[in-house]
Structure 1
Amino acid sequence: MSVNVRKIVVAVEDIWHDGGPPLSEPVRKGYVACVIANPFAGRYEPDIQGFMDDLKPMGLECSKRLVAALGGDVGRIEAYGKGSLVGVNGEIEHGALWHVPGGYAMRELLGQALAIVPSSAKLGAMGTAIDIPIHHKDACYVRSHFDAITAFVADAPRPDELMFVLAMTTGGRPHARVGGLEASAISRWDGQR
């Protein structure tokens, strides 16, 4: 089955401070949203898993676009997340098709990326926003990198569309100070600590 892409949107934030002292270099945080036709909209299809393979090239393309928008250096990416927004003629399970193509694409591009990719999914009308959870790519217990980014595309998803989102950052929250495992103290390299 082919993937019918309508549009790809990339958004990046440069965060210089969050009410505290300005940083010497901003944290860059961004997302890429790919809006595609939902081939299963309007009906129940018992076997949808094969579509994940069709989505894999799109996952890699979206990952590359986001890394480029964040400066082009995969070594600077510290955290990630993903999500799906399903148009109202679809079902939440259609959003779950993004787990493998989105998550593994980021891991493949970033090289070392040991932590599970946090995810969110929901149904929504055109212009609905979705919060994409973010945490450290190598150890999900790095508390300074617990974050989110709100993604939306004004004219998506249409009722028969899917909007797949990837998110990455070059650092944690600008003024993280609530303790927990620090990124510099990752030692187990097990995706958790």
Structure 2
Amino acid sequence: MPELILRKLVTVVEDIHHEGGPVAETPVRRAAALAVIKNPFAKRYVEDIQDFMDDLRPLGLRMARRLVDILGGPDKIEGYGKGALIGLDGEVEHAALWHNPGGYAMREVIGGTRAIVPSSKKVGAKGARLDVPITHINASYVRSHFDAMEVGHNDAPAADEMLLALVMTTGARVHSRSGGLEAWEITGEDGLR
């Protein structure tokens, strides 16, 4: 298995008080943990890359724990998402390796989540940005929690790097009023409703 080489760990926190409407009594907080690592598959095609997911698991757990601590504990988390941005010497399939370790890390650290963790991935140059989709942790159809957080870093990913992202939130969009399934209506049976 290739060695995981971590260059940088970055945390971004937003406290959203309003989006032009009334000021929220409690701001919605969203946070992203970004890891910049060496891409062990850069500049070459490797057929069997799945074992690298095992190497990414401890990093996923570290990042998820960091976010849960920042947001005040697992009972405060209502939304999540993940994403990966691959440098130009890699391929989008390398980003797919983050699905399992990133998603399961958040589910394990938060505990009891039912909804699939949404994801985005792409190849980009240094300074590229990635929109990480966010949904409710227990029901993907909760419209108030459909959101995204733009992430990136000014010096990453280098051509031979990966930028891996986890995002968590403490609530719905601050001025959600688009209808649909509400968080308090979740039945929790299938991860969708």
Range into which the TM-score falls when normalised by the shorter chain: over 0.9
Q: Do residues 171 (structure 1) and 171 (structure 2) align?
A: yes
- 4+ residue runs over 4 A deviation: none
Q: Counterparts of 1:110 and 1:70 in 2: how far apart (Å)?
A: 11
How far is 1:2 from its partner? 2.2
What do the CA deviations read for 1:94-143 (whole angstroms, capped 9, x no partner)?
00000000000000000011101000000000010100000001000000
Structure 2: which amino acid aligns with 1:27? V
Tell me which residue corresponds to 2:16: 15
Structure 1: which amino acid aligns with 2:133? P
Please list every run of 5 or more consecutive structure 2 residues that lacks an aligned counterpart in the other structure: none
Identity over aligned residues, as a percent?
A: 56
Structure 1: which amino acid aligns with 2:15? D
Q: Counterparts of 2:173 and 2:188 in 1: how far apart (Å)?
A: 23
Q: Do residues 53 (structure 1) and 73 (structure 2) align?
A: no
Q: Counterparts of 1:179 and 1:85 in 2: how far apart (Å)?
A: 32
Please list every run of 5 or more consecutive structure 1 residues that lacks an aligned counterpart in the other structure: none
TM-score, length-scaled by structure 2: 0.98
Size of the alignment, in residue pairs? 192
Contact 1:14–1:29 under 8 Å retained in 2:
yes
Structure 1: which amino acid aligns with 2:40? P
How far is 1:189 from its partner? 2.7
How far is 1:188 from its partner? 3.9
Contact 2:36–2:162 under 8 Å retained in 1:
yes
Q: How does 1:94-133 map to 2 (within 5 A)?
A: 94-133=94-133
> Cα RMSD between the aligned structures?
0.7
